[in-house]
Amino acid sequence: MKKRMKILVPLDFSKYSLETLGFALGLRDHFDASYHLLYVVVDGEIEYFSPLAGVPRDEQRRKMDEALHQLEQEAARVRESAPGVRVEAVVLAGIPYKEICRYADKESMDLIVIGTHGRTGLSHLLIGSTTERVVQQASCPVLSIKPSIL
């Protein structure tokens, strides 16, 4: 009998994060896995660096609704390709690494599978790496995937 596992997969809809999702789905060969797909609309302390800087709340709500729609489509693709797999789609607003860790705690996740983008230079210095911060702050194990897409 396979061990039950709740897996959180933060996505940003990039080809990198979708490749990470594919990797995470492969874990169901080893575990009775359920998946929580999470997208975080940037809000808060780092708004200045975000495309949402200065955006009214109703515009942010629209962005969250669009993200949920896209995330639900991704969840439907997962269910289609792997019948019987349990998948939830969640969109939150906040600082990505904080919301990822907070959600993982709240939902008692067993594992976070997150991709790296390899942000470098000034943007890494100013914004930092979400993955790096999740690895440092999460209370559950984190599997960091370096995508093979170039």
Q: pTM for this structure?
A: 0.85
Residue 39, phi then psi, degrees to nearest 5 = -125, 135
Please check the confidence at residue 118 and state whether its pLDDT lies above 80: no
Q: What is the pLDDT of residues 28-87, one digit of tens each?
A: 999 999 999 999 998 754 444 445 455 567 788 898 999 999 999 999 999 999 889 999
Going along the chain from its start, the domains and CATH numbers come out as 3-145 (3.40.50.620)
3-state helix, strand, coil in the chain (%, to 5): 45, 25, 30
Mean pLDDT of 115-127: 56
